[in-house]
Structure 1
Amino acid sequence: MITVGVGASTGVSAEEVLAAVDAVLPPDAGPVELATLDARAAEPGLREAAALRGWPLTGHPAPVLAAVPVPASSARVAAAVGTGSVAEAAALLGGGRLVVGKTVRGRVTVAVAEDVDLRHHGDAEVGPGLVDLAVNVRADAPPAWLRAVLHEALDASAGYPDPRPARVAVAAAHGRDPAQVLLTAGAAETFTLLARALTPRRAVVVHPSFTEPEAALRAAGHPVERLLLTAPAYRLDPAAVPDDADLVVLGNPTNPTSVLHPADTVAALARPGRVLVVDEAFADSVPGEPASLAHRADLPGVLVVRSLTKTWGLAGLRVGYALGPADLVAALAAQQPHWPVSTPALAALVACSTDRARAEADAVARQLAVHRRALIDALPAGVTVVGDPASAFVLLHVPGGARVRGRLRAEGWAVRRGDTFPGLTGDHLRVAVRDPGTSGAFATALAAILGGVSADLPALHALAEESR
């Protein structure tokens, strides 16, 4: 979907509106919708323009538009209509990516945003015959002892699942009361439960980050603001989070940047009256988990989301949990159906919460750090490692990234595209850390492809300019 934000003077004609819109629409644009200030949505010229093309027209209140971060805000416009931006804010309100900034054409101002596919994930990149560097799941897992646990649990699956032993085991592992533990069918379920249970006045999602939280909130009808961290470090500044945000969501370490925010920095966002959701799906990929808040029951409103997917190779089992205040956990649990977590998943939670399993996870994290260094050292010239990676993947900036990704796929390599993460572009590629042999072979293939793509870059840049 393409959203065209429109600002227009009183009495503007349909012809003026359509001429301004047609001048900025991308080639072969898909479905289009118009968005504007609610006071302008009743303008006959705007309504006629939308009707002539069969485009939906939506008007938004000035306070809603005023809350949308935009590249170009005007104090003069704010004084006149109550928001510093109409066209850009209306285009961006739905969560898309700005592709054409504020453009003035006579009595009409337009801006264009295109949808970001928040439901696109790394599993969509993989396929038969491809080396999987797109999914951040440990390649040599689950280990044999965990497979045995799962097989035994499958034999015991005739009865209904009993979550109590798993809840106690997870609570003990993190020094929590069992009432502060929510067991879930994968970490992603928690985000859907939050969207169902809460009615935030101002929800802020820190990006670039895992997109399921925002997708779940939007699907439930909640407006979402994005706080885009600044390249190249992508470091969190607590002061950038609005004081009145009553729901804040971020990842740590962050997917896709692999950046680890210090525990004190994240904890500074906690306050009474706010739910702070910290996605720690990759926390155990960092030796010693130095930035984890999983044990911080003292922090108000903090919900820590964890997963067994990555380190233990259990993506298909769907097993995760959340840790937070007992009243919040109870509210989320009330949104779950009966028996939401299967018997094998519960058995995995118990087994992976033991001291022995946690020590093994830490050893895996230490080996991962060595393998990540090997990947980074093997990368060819012209590739930039974004930020300071600390987890099971690295984010790369590669000139001509979209074409490079296609050629990698043709050579048998699947990597994760970056342009479906808010704040990133087609030149960003996320690459999973594998053993040094696999990483070396990938780096060799990438170097060979870049040698061919570099000659095409002037043409690529020219095409990009023509499409603007």
Structure 2
Amino acid sequence: MHTSTEPDLRHHGDAEVRGGGAELTDLAVNVRSGTPPVWLRERLVASLDGLAAYPDGRAARRAVAARHGLPEERVLLTAGAAEAFVLLARALDVRRPVVVHPQFTEPEAALRDAGHTVDRVLLDPEDGFRLDPRAVPGDADLVVVGNPTNPTSVLHPAQSLAQLARPGRTLVVDEAFMDAVPGEQESLASRTDLPGLIVLRSLTKTWGLAGLRIGYVLASPGTIARLERAQPLWPVSSPALAAAEVCSAAPALAEATDAAHRIATDRAYLEGRLAKFTEVSVCGPAAGPFLLLRLPDAAGVRSRLRGLGFAVRRGDTFPGLGPDYLRLAVRDRATTDRFTEALATALTDR
């Protein structure tokens, strides 16, 4: 079921920050603060010595495969998860694609750009935006769902997602934020028993590489080969390949695990501070590095927060949400304290 007013599927959090200057605290983009770390920067700088050669993705592909316990032929490296959505839309022969919303809007935008008619399954805010597999039409031959979902921060049980897999259907699970979940609970990345399963991962969020563009697809060898044929030659740069390799190694995985636990702690602190505002509802339980808020006059509050030095993400560009939603990235406690002081002002200065 479509909303009466079509949201802007091409609006993303970075638009909230443009033109704000260094004095604007970014709570609109879900990239972990303080990244990339020094060791990753050094690895990227070292990779520049090889820029005269064409990119060779074999080592990075092996590293990603080993990280998930998969054979190399089940891995495809991409220029971020966004490229993967375009490849899927162009390379897969589907008749009835369905996107589960609210979620990241690029999958639907890519499908529409490729000429597909897209149906939506809108999750119910009164049910905490939880997924009931029975809500997905039985004849859908492509289903796209995020886990944990952007912008709701809901972590769907792996068992529920697995129920969506069936012969003749492609099930795409966007796990761009799964490495921000302690223990990566409910991940399907290493599953090879589910027919038609495609899992997308991104390295840009946890490691601060949004400007480098690096992600990957995990799927059956046949699907990987099909998507690879749709890619241009050398689609991933040498620095991005270096990042994929080192970020898949044991030391980086241990650091990501520590970061996930810190994010969970900081998120709980942020939720506690927000609980003091009776007019603000926090969608939960939240599992990602961001929170979805519901509050009256969200557009006005967002504008006033910007005037107070904070950029937050509007929610009305996500199908299934309305003008009374905002998305908020989780930051450290000091930033949260400053933000909640500004929020108190933004809520009263109307």
Q: Same fold (TM over 0.5)?
A: yes
Give distance in 2, aligned partners of 1:373 and 1:193: 37
Shift of 1:355: 1.3
* Corresponding position of 2:218: 323
Partner of 2:191: 296
Give distance in 1, aligned partners of 2:288 and 2:68: 21
How far apart in 1 are the matches of 2:263 and 2:70? Answer: 28
Aligned match of 1:365: 260
Matched to 2:282, the amino acid is V
> What does residue range 60-79 of structure 1 map to in structure 2 within 5 Å?
69=1
Pairing of 1:20-419 with structure 2 (within 5 A) = 69=1, 92=2, 97-98=3-4, 114-126=5-17, 127-128=20-21, 129-232=23-126, 233-379=128-274, 380-419=277-316
Q: Deviations over 1:288-347 (max 9, x none)?
A: 001110000111110000000100000000000010011111111111000000000000
What residue number does 2:341 align with?
444
Distance in structure 2 (CA, Å) of the matches to 1:246 and 1:388:
30
Distance 1:264 1:138 in 2: 28
**Partner letter of residue 424 of structure 1?**
L
Q: Please give the secondary structure, in 1, of the residue aligned with 2:184.
A: coil
In structure 2, C-alpha distance between the alignment counterparts of 1:312 and 1:297, rounded to whole Å: 27
Offset, 1:398: 1.2
Specify every segment of 5 or more residues in structure 2 that has no aligned partner in the other structure, as ranges: none
CA contact (8 A) 1:197 1:332 kept: yes
CA distance in 2, matches of 1:381, 1:146: 42
Greater RCO structure (CA 8 Å; 6+ sep): 2
Letter in 1 for 2:46: E
Is the 8 Å Cα contact of residues 199 and 222 (structure 1) preserved in structure 2?
Answer: no
Cα distance per residue 1:391-416 (max 9 Å; x no partner)? 10000001110111111111111000
Partner of 1:32 in structure 2?
Answer: none
Amino acid in structure 2 at the alignment position of 1:178: E
Question: Which protein is richer in strand relative to its size?
Answer: 1
Write the letter of the residue equivalent to 1:359.
A
CA RMSD of superposed structures (Å): 0.9
TM superposition score normalised by structure 1: 0.73
Q: TM-score when scaled to structure 2?
A: 0.97
Runs of 4+ in structure 1 deviating by more than 6 angstroms, as ranges, are: none
Structure 1 residue 158: Cα displacement: 1.3
1:130 is displaced (CA, Å) by 1.0
Mark the runs of 5 or more structure 1 residues left unpaired by the alignment: 1-68, 70-91, 99-113, 454-468
- Hey, what's the Cα distance between the residues in 2 that align with 1:329 and 1:153? 26
Amino acid at match of 1:433: V
Task: Give the superposition deviation at 1:381.
Answer: 2.6
Q: Deviations over 1:18-59 (max 9, x none)?
A: xxxxxxxxxxxxxxxxxxxxxxxxxxxxxxxxxxxxxxxxxx
Aligned residues: 344
* Aligned match of 2:320: 423
Indicate if the aligned counterparts of 1:142 and 1:314 stay in contact, CA closer than 8 A.
Answer: yes
Instruction: Give, as a single letter, the amino acid of the residue that structure 2 aligns with 1:336.
Output: Q
TM-superposed deviation, 1:218: 0.3
How much has 1:452 moved relative to structure 2? 2.6
| Match for residue 330 of structure 2 among 405, 412, 433 | 433
Distance (whole Å) between structure 2 residues aligned to residue 226 and residue 421 of structure 1:
12
* Contact kept? 1:304, 1:323, Cα under 8 Å: yes
